[in-house]
A and B are shown apart, each in its own frame.
Chain A
Amino acid sequence: MMLEDELTVSTRERDGVAIIDLFGDVTTFAEEKINSAYREVTNKGARFVLLNFRQNDYINSAGIAILIGIVTEVNRNNQKLAVSGLSQHFQKIFRMVGLAQYAEIYQDEEEALAGFKRLAAA
């Protein structure tokens, strides 16, 4: 009855990067789905992880807390994290919160993959 399940999380791989697509609202209800997608790609040995968002979606501070949790794990697991597809507004929020220092912000997936390629080559 109530649309609590408004987020779809799916994983895929491209060019050696594990991409986690987050389409929908990233709020407190997203925790289980996001964490389990991250665990899944990490168990498969992912070194490069991309969180791919969709422009018009809504991320609140509970969602940001979940993402900080992911960054905590990424730091521990020596992985590299990036984000793509965020609206200008949420790119700003990510920078304000300090997430930009720990996850590169790209406009879109292609830009992110190119960025990871440069990292891998370095």
Chain B
Amino acid sequence: MSEDTTQREPVEKVIELRLPSKLGYERVAMDTASSLARRMGFHPDRVESLKTAISEAVTNAIEHGNQHDAAIKVVVLLTARDDELIIHVADQGRKQLDQECTTSSPTIEDAFEREDKGGWGIWLIRELMDEVEFTTAPSGGNQVRMVIHLEQ
């Protein structure tokens, strides 16, 4: 039996999902991601966190990036590796994401004073995922890359 001296390449499985930009369809992304995450062996708590984070990311893509245009798509890429799940959510960039929004830390006390009680989505993504990065998609739109590590 010969010795295999080549480095084992990390195994990566990709699922790609293209959804209409209409509120409600973030549920499809949530169910798809949770289906994959459960089967990868993630703890139910982490699966729930993933569902919430992906829900917020896709909702942002629908509302801001794609301006509720049902004819254009939100692209969700799920990359499963041995020890982590990487999620990319990209929109068509009808509206560019203000980078300032990606670092805000809202507080409930501030919210009481404001008319608009929202702005929690991005903050929730950062709190719930292990790695979060806001960039530009290959298509030119807004993209968020989230990573959740699989605890052994």
Contacts and interface: CB of A to CB of B under 8 A. Distances in A.
A61 B24 contact: no
A7 B150 CA distance: 34
A7 to B, nearest CB: 12
Interface string B40-52: 0000010011001
A61 B48 contact: no
Interface string A54-72: 0000101110111011011
A46 interface: no
B32 to A, nearest CB: 15
A68 B111 contact: yes
B112 A60 contact: no
Contact of B108 (A61, A87, A102): A102
A15 interface: no
Interface residues of A, number: 28
Q: How large is the interface on B (under 10, 10 to 19, 20 to 34, 35 or more residues)?
A: 20 to 34
Interface stretch (A37-45, A89-97, A110-118): A89-97
Chain B, interface SS category: helix
B45 A4 contact: no
A58 B24 CA distance: 11
Contacts of A96: 124, 127
B109 A98 contact: yes
Given A72-B117, A93-B124, A60 B108 contact: no
A78 interface: no
B145 interface: no
Nearest to B106: A97
B141 interface: no
Given A68-B117, A72-B117, A60 B22 contact: no
B27 interface: yes
A66 B117 contact: yes
Given A61-B56, A61-B124, A69-B117, A97 B108 contact: yes
Nearest to B27: A58
B101 to A, nearest CB: 13
A69 B45 CA distance: 27
Contacts of A2: 22, 24
Interface string B20-32: 0011101100100
Given A72-B112, A98-B108, A102-B108, A4 B24 contact: yes
Kindly list the 10 A-B residue pairs having the minimum CB-CB distance in the complex, ordered from nearest: A98-B108, A89-B48, A65-B117, A61-B120, A65-B118, A68-B117, A61-B121, A68-B111, A72-B112, A69-B117
